[in-house]
Amino acid sequence: DAEITQSPRHKITETGRQVTLACHQTWNHNNMFWYRQDLGHGLRLIHYSYGVHDTNKGEVSDGYSVSRSNTEDLPLTLESAASSQTSVYFCASSDGQGSSYEQYFGPGTRLTVT
């Protein structure tokens, strides 16, 4: 069955370190998204991609970067982790076809920056 996975599921890192969160989908979807979820804010869009080599900034992109070298993967990198980046991170994908653009979410990565 097609799926979307994230790794690691839990990560503790120190302030200033570079961290990369992986997202891999086997739906063959063109569109991929990264969100962070914090209490009281809901899901906020960090970066998104509509195809290989396409990346775009979302609402809260400062301090994050992504690259899309193939259809399946959209890794999220925190260049220099800050305590404000402690959050739960969700990756999502959609096929971009049809009218619904339903997004399928990965299980999430809980990141703690100490």
Among 48, 68, 74, 85, binds another protein (CB under 8 A): 48
CB of 42 to another protein, least distance (A): 4
Using rule CB under 8 A, residue 22 touches another protein: no
Rounded distance between C-alpha atoms, residue 27 and residue 57, angstroms: 23
Stretch that binds another protein, among 22-30, 60-68, 76-84, 100-108 (CB under 8 A): 100-108
Among 30, 63, 95, 105, binds another protein (CB under 8 A): 105
- Nearest to residue 66, comparing CAs of 83, 90, 46, 88? 46
Residue ranges binding another protein (CB under 8 A): 31, 33, 35, 40-45, 48, 50, 56, 58-59, 90, 96, 99-108
